[in-house]
Structure 1
Amino acid sequence: MKKLVLIAIAMLMVMTLAAQGSTESQKVYEMNAGTSIASGTLKSESVDIAYIETFKEYVEANSDGRIKFNIFYGNSLGSDADVCAGVANGTIEFYIGDITTISGYYKRSLLFSIPGAIASMDEATKLFDSEWGQQFFSDCAEKTNIKILGVVSKGFRNFTTVKVPLEKPEDIKGLTLRVLNNPLFIQMVNSLGGNPVPMDVKELYTALQNGVVDGHENAVPNILQDKTYELEKYLVLDAHTGAYLCGMISNSFYNDLPEDLKKVVDDAAVAAADAARSTANSIIVNGLEKLKQNGVSIYEPSPEELDAWHNAYKSDCMVIAKQQIGEKEVDDFLEAISALK
């Protein structure tokens, strides 16, 4: 009798597990994703769109209908800060944007705003793939609920203005420039004698149009996708910091996925990053020519002039970085970069 009872219990457990597995395999996981880029923008025109639309295509094609991925374009889910906050608190599943957007939740992301720290796009990719980079991702997910799925370099950020030619650091003096809400970028413009104005990207075009700001700083792919070149006609390639696009998912949502769907998401992130890097490389190669064709005057500083630009703000920004992030964190970051050389 006891043996029959044990057999019955075992069969019941098997049936229960089978039912749970069946329910799990039938469940549809919905992902809402926010981006600042307008609907209708082509993948070839935007690194962000290349990433997020490739990600959507991959997860929906490889999840047997178990993942539905909804893209909300043009900040229709809210500002970049709003969507990032939604991912952090678990009310929004996915966000794509600049790595510095998460600095309010994870100060270490400000490391990538230290002027001159990273020398090239290739060096940035190696850093993110390194042991230091993987620890950065896991620590961020644990402390903020923001899991970074991948990072794509968009090249270097540069200053650009509507009316004022830019060649020397002194040319920034007195100009009002839009910056990301980032203490290092704010300090950078202050060090140059300008007036930094933190502003969401969705407000930038109108602010340039109305003369609220005289210009801003950004990478060439962003200048093209945001179409600010229609208003800004001067660009100096001072290459103060890199621009890094991140695909970010709510860590709690990711952890709730079955193992097979986690793999789909992981593989989608790889496919999306590959597509975005291809677009970034193409835009960087051809972007300056397109800007010139649209009437933008581009100044490329000599090595000596570039040193003058970097020396004008580098030491001040390093002080802010150590205050905001901690001296050890900054030193470890710089050592990790040195180890790649």
Structure 2
Amino acid sequence: MYLAHTLPQTHPVHKGILEFKKALNEKSGGKMSVKIFPDGQLGSEREALELLQIGSVAITKVSAATLSNFVPEYHVLGIPYLFKDKQHQFAVLEGEVGKSILQKGEKFWLRGLCYYDAGSRSFYTSNKAVRTPEDLKGLKIRVMNNQMAINMVNALGGSATPMSFGELYTAIQQGVVDGAENNAPSFVSSNHYEVSKYYTLDQHSSVPDVLLIGTKYWSSLSDQEKVWVQESADESSQAQKRFWQESVEQSMATAKKAGVEVIIPNKALFQEQSKSVLETFRKEHPEMNPIIYKIIK
């Protein structure tokens, strides 16, 4: 089976996918093999999802943010400060709520297998330390072109500026934007730590990655093969969490060594200030309220 994703081979998610390949090969006694196409060889995340829907590719890994354009329930996972911490996040994702969201994609020919840790996004800035939401006032912060991210930065008093990730290094260097937000491995692998000397661990959003199988391919498998695929995915998900944690620790060490000041703010202040984002989402998507209620509970 073909598996396509957009990440480099050094990435902790790619390492998790290698674990999936290895586990499936072992469980099936070599009957089921996986050919991996990393680095966006078969196109963007969106294109990979479309290849799954028509059955040209069996499996892909995409961000839940990209997936929310196909399966609306994934939008919920992007709500700022939704998860108290890593334990809460994975209790939700690996429990009833997470599993039901994975199945919601079936009517769009996209069956979720498991979640991968993609970390928590936090603010980084070039010239001014952000210790409270007040400090974001008047700062231009680069965000993904995603309505929830835009609303969140604006609610916190910053000025949300969508732009492509590729242009960001130069934009920070030249002062076009004052900062951005991302997880630690991305902050370091993009070299943004060279031009941003403050990293504020407010951990506003923790949007996971999702491993998916096309229902066209899934329905061609025997019951035994389905069990092997699901078990291999679950095992790879646990291994990938460890790879991610190692990557975070290495990245933070690199940033600190380069003189980046790491700030641990009072998260409650940020959460309070961005409540309007959750309220707006609830009004616009009342059908999502039961899911949100279960997560918060």
Q: TM-score range by the shorter chain?
A: 0.7 to 0.9
Structure 1 partner of 2:125: 161
Residues 163 and 146 of structure 1, relative CA distance in 2, 3 Å threshold: farther
| Letter paired with 1:314 | K
Q: CA deviation at 1:270?
A: 1.6
Residues 206 and 276 of structure 1, relative CA distance in 2, 3 Å threshold: farther
Aligned runs of 1:1-341 on 2, under 5 Å?
30-35=1-6, 37-39=7-9, 41=10, 46-140=11-105, 142-191=106-155, 192-197=157-162, 199=164, 201=165, 213-285=177-249, 287-301=251-265, 303=266, 306-315=267-276, 317-324=277-284, 326-330=285-289, 332-339=290-297
Residues 57 and 204 of structure 1, relative CA distance in 2, 3 Å threshold: farther
Unaligned runs of 5+ in 1: 1-29
Q: CA deviation at 1:173?
A: 3.8
Is the deviation greater in 254-263 or in 119-128? 254-263
Segments of 4+ moved more than 6 angstroms = none
2:4 and 2:40 in contact (8 A); partners too: no
Q: CA deviation at 1:76?
A: 2.5
CA distance in 1, matches of 2:48, 2:212: 10
Offset from partner CA, 1:40-59 (integer Å, 9 cap, x none):
x1xxxx33122122122223
CA distance in 1, matches of 2:220, 2:174: 47
Residues 81 and 229 of structure 1, relative CA distance in 2, 3 Å threshold: farther
Residues 202 and 307 of structure 1, relative CA distance in 2, 3 Å threshold: same
Residues 254 and 298 of structure 1, relative CA distance in 2, 3 Å threshold: same
Q: CA deviation at 1:285?
A: 4.8
Residues 313 and 222 of structure 1, relative CA distance in 2, 3 Å threshold: same
Higher percent of residues as helix: 1
2:115 and 2:210 in contact (8 A); partners too: yes
Q: TM-score, normalised by structure 2?
A: 0.86
Which structure's CA Rg is the greater one? 1
> How many residue pairs align between the two structures?
296
Aligned to 2:274, what secondary structure does the other structure show?
Answer: helix
Unaligned runs of 5+ in 2: none
| Letter paired with 1:336 | K
Residues 138 and 233 of structure 1, relative CA distance in 2, 3 Å threshold: same
CA distance in 1, matches of 2:29, 2:193: 42
1:189 and 1:196 in contact (8 A); partners too: no
CA distance in 1, matches of 2:117, 2:195: 25
Q: CA deviation at 1:236?
A: 0.8
2:73 and 2:104 in contact (8 A); partners too: no
CA distance in 2, matches of 1:212, 1:259: 55
Aligned to 1:76, what secondary structure does the other structure show?
Answer: coil
RMSD: 2.7
Is the deviation greater in 262-271 or in 164-173? 164-173
Q: TM-score, normalised by structure 1?
A: 0.76
